[in-house]
């Protein structure tokens, strides 16, 4: 007997794969999702915040049933020097009303729920199975090979994440270079919810995101992060892999160092570590987005490098949902036309160009160049911290005006007005 | 919070360990390598130096793939473990 031919086989049950499969199944198409994890979500980790507006287009009011941790009403950015810290703190109760602005989420739980919705919609999900290869008919992808079996499909959607071996096998993506990915390492730290609320000035289900710039990366391109969950904190650092490679520092040591910083250690005091995780994040933006389609084949989410990194925003999930949905639209069109070749699938790229996905990446195309500037991780955070220290110091000596303090500190940091002007110009263009 | 050893942290994670290895190294290349980026880049420190020889374990691997990209000599053959095996995050 011939094996069933699916309208689409999706490799990977993360946000991108699930969004594609959900939309296709809802439209009545035959969809198979193959997930290498023991359960959907088992291999997935991210910093912590999910923006819900895109998912709400697919599953309206999803926040009423999804396993969300806290809705984020407070955003803090903290600059660190060796011992000191300086924070910018924004809090808005309006972020705490439906449809909410963003949620902290634990991926092992959230992705499992999302995959459940996909099954409810009528798709088949097979966990614990690794897609090993593509099936070809000439230049056309006609299915996948997994666990030694063939799964024929009109279209294969590669949602296999940042190390997309399928996009490489399809000849669309090159091997990733260490400059274009960052390594995130994270600890899940258990803390009672009352302590979290008191410590972070939050009401019931409200949450905070805190991003750290400066000493925590020892000058490397990257930063630290903290997200509050219901009864835990997600704490970690993200560092450009090429910088880590050059510096010869162990990521696990950096994380311990970050945890012991005076500006951090009291935030996690009394907590118990429950899990230690690591994951790569694509960070090249528009400059390294591969060819997104070929005959019978589409690449979505992290696999296509669709992640926005501006230094302040780090969003992959919205891009995963949106690209998955665009892929589903395109596969529906292919089914209608009876043509899964490039001629129809090029519609996918067109949809991404029209939506925020490729437009945001285009808007922030200079971000990576800007963020490669080491002054952002050494000079400026130190300057801000030292300047604040000068401002608040009472040592019985004659006081100086802010501008005098700034000039002295700039001299100490060997920072000229020209540096500031150039960085300001690049920053204006980049973020 | 007291500092915690990496071994203790990895011991908190849930793994379904396969008998089949998903990491291997080309010892001929490793012998001539002076950078030995693998020794520090791996967040689970799967690579160790034993005398002059690079040894590796795969049991604690977090499946990030950093080693594969960071080894400029291409001496590390890292792939995904077989379906259902390897790390199973409970939180993620």
Residue in chain B nearest A130 by alpha carbon: B83
The answer to whether position A81 is within a domain reads no
Give the model's confidence band at A1: pLDDT under 50 very low, under 70 low, under 90 confident, else very high.
Answer: low
The answer to whether position A78 is within a domain reads no
The answer to whether position A99 is within a domain reads no
Q: Does B1 sit within 8 Å of A268, measured CB to CB?
A: yes
Q: Residue A196: which domain range?
A: 179-282
Quick: pLDDT tens for A293-337. Answer: 999 999 999 999 999 999 888 899 999 999 999 999 999 999 999
The answer to whether position B92 is within a domain reads no
Average pLDDT over residues B51-73: 94
Could you tell me if A51 and A150 lie in one domain?
Answer: yes
Q: Does B41 sit within 8 Å of A251, measured CB to CB?
A: yes
Distance, in Å, from the CA atom of A335 to the CA atom of A50, rounded to the nearest integer, reads 32
The answer to whether position B28 is within a domain reads yes
The answer to whether position A73 is within a domain reads no
Q: How many domains does chain A have?
A: 3
Of A107, A146, A185, the CB nearest to B43: A185
Give the residue from B13, B64, B68, B82 with the most A CB atoms within 10 Å of its CB, the best one to mutate.
Answer: B64
Q: Does A244 sit within 8 Å of B43, measured CB to CB?
A: no
Q: Does B17 touch chain A (CB under 8 A)?
A: no
Q: Per the structure block, which two tokens stand in for B92?
A: 């993620």
Q: Does B7 touch chain A (CB under 8 A)?
A: no
Could you tell me if A194 and A228 lie in one domain?
Answer: yes
Q: How many domains does chain B have?
A: 1
Q: Per the structure block, which two tokens stand in for A365?
A: 């195309």
Q: Does A274 sit within 8 Å of B64, measured CB to CB?
A: no
Could you tell me if A265 and A332 lie in one domain?
Answer: no
Could you tell me if A345 and A376 lie in one domain?
Answer: no
Could you tell me if A239 and A196 lie in one domain?
Answer: yes
pLDDT at A97: 86
Q: Residue B27: which domain range?
A: 6-87
Quick: pLDDT tens for A143-162. Answer: 999 999 999 999 999 999 99
- ipTM of this predicted structure: 0.97
Q: What percent of chain A has pLDDT over 90?
A: 93
Query: What does DSSP assign to residue B76?
Result: E
Q: Does B45 sit within 8 Å of A147, measured CB to CB?
A: no
- CB atoms inside a 10 Å sphere around CB A390: 16
Q: Does B40 sit within 8 Å of A248, measured CB to CB?
A: yes
pLDDT at B91: 97
- CB atoms inside a 10 Å sphere around CB A63: 16
Distance, in Å, from the CA atom of B53 to the CA atom of A134, rounded to the nearest integer, reads 37
* CATH number, residue B81: 3.30.70.20
Of B44, B66, B80, the CB nearest to A130: B80
How far away is chain A from the Cα of B8, in angstroms, using its nearest Cα? 10
Q: Does B91 touch chain A (CB under 8 A)?
A: yes
Could you tell me if A156 and A191 lie in one domain?
Answer: no
Three-class secondary structure of residue A363 per DSSP: helix
Could you tell me if A167 and A197 lie in one domain?
Answer: no
Q: Does B6 sit within 8 Å of A275, measured CB to CB?
A: no
The answer to whether position A84 is within a domain reads no
Q: Does B11 touch chain A (CB under 8 A)?
A: no
The answer to whether position A361 is within a domain reads no
Average pLDDT over residues B11-24: 94
Q: Per the structure block, which two tokens stand in for B9?
A: 């942290």
Average pLDDT over chain A reads 95
pLDDT at B8: 96
Q: Does B21 touch chain A (CB under 8 A)?
A: no
- Indicate the pairing of strand B76-78 with strand A314-315: unpaired
Average pLDDT over residues A240-261: 97
What does the buried/exposed string (b/e) look like for A76-87 if buried means 16 or more CB atoms within 10 Å of the residue's CB? bbbbbbeebbbe
* CATH number, residue A302: 3.50.50.60
Could you tell me if A34 and A139 lie in one domain?
Answer: yes
Residue A188's Cα: distance from chain center in Å?
17
Average pLDDT over residues A83-105: 92
Q: Exposure of A3 by Cβ count < 10 A (0-12 exposed, 13-18 middle, 19+ buried)? A: exposed
Q: What percent of chain A has pLDDT over 70?
A: 100
Of A146, A177, A275, the CB nearest to B91: A275
Q: Does A45 sit within 8 Å of B89, measured CB to CB?
A: yes
Residue A219 has pLDDT above 90, yes or no: yes
Question: Which residue bears the tokens 């230094």?
Answer: A311
């Amino acid at each position: 007997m011939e094996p069933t031919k699916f309208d689409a086989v999706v490799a990977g049950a993360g946000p991108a794969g699930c969004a594609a499969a959900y939309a296709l199944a809802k439209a009545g198409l035959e969809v198979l999702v193959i997930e290498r994890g023991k359960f959907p979500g088992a291999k997935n980790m991210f910093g912590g915040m999910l923006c819900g507006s895109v998912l709400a287009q697919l599953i309206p009011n999803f926040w009423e049933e999804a396993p969300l941790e806290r809705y984020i009403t407070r955003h803090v950015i903290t600059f660190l020097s060796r011992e000191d810290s300086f924070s910018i703190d924004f809090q808005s109760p309006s972020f705490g009303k439906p449809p909410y602005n963003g949620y902290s989420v634990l991926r092992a739980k959230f992705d499992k729920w999302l995959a459940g919705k996909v099954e409810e919609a009528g798709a088949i999900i097979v966990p614990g199975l690794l897609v090993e290869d593509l099936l070809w008919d000439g230049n056309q992808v006609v299915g996948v090979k997994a666990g030694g079996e063939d799964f024929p499909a009109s279209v294969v959607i590669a949602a296999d994440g940042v190390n997309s071996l399928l996009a490489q096998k399809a000849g669309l993506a090159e091997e990733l270079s260490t400059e274009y990915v960052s390594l995130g390492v994270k600890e899940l730290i258990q803390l009672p919810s009352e302590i979290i609320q008191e410590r972070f000035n939050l009401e019931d289900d409200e949450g905070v995101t805190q991003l750290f710039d400066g000493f925590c990366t020892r000058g490397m391109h990257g930063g630290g992060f903290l997200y509050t969950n219901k009864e835990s904190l997600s704490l970690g650092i993200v560092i450009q892999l090429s910088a880590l490679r050059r510096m010869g520092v162990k990521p696990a040591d950096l994380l311990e160092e970050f945890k012991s910083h005076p500006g951090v250690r009291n935030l996690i005091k009394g907590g118990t570590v429950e899990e230690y995780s690591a994951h790569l994040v694509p960070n090249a933006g528009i400059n390294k987005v591969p060819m997104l389609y070929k005959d019978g084949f589409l690449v979505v989410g992290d696999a296509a490098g669709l992640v926005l990194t501006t230094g302040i925003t780090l969003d992959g999930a919205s891009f995963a949902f949106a690209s998955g949905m665009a892929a589903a639209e395109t596969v529906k069109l292919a089914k209608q036309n009876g043509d899964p070749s490039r001629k129809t699938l090029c519609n996918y790229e067109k949809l991404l160009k029209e939506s925020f996905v490729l437009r945001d990446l285009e808007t922030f195309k200079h971000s990576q160049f800007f963020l490669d500037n080491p002054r952002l991780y050494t000079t400026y955070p130190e300057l801000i911290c030292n300047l604040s220290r000068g401002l608040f110091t009472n040592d019985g000596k004659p006081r100086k005006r802010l501008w005098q303090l700034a000039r002295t500190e700039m001299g100490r940091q060997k920072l000229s007005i020209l540096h500031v002007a150039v960085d300001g110009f690049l920053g204006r263009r980049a973020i | 919070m007291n500092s915690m050893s990496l071994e203790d942290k990895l011991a908190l994670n849930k793994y379904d360990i396969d008998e089949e290895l998903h990491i291997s190294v080309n010892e001929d290349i490793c012998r001539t390598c002076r950078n030995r980026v693998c020794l520090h880049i791996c967040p689970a420190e799967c690579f160790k130096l034993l005398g002059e020889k690079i040894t590796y374990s795969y049991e604690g691997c977090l499946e990030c793939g950093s080693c594969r990209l960071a080894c400029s000599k291409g001496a590390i053959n890292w792939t995904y473990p077989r379906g259902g095996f390897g790390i199973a995050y409970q939180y993620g």
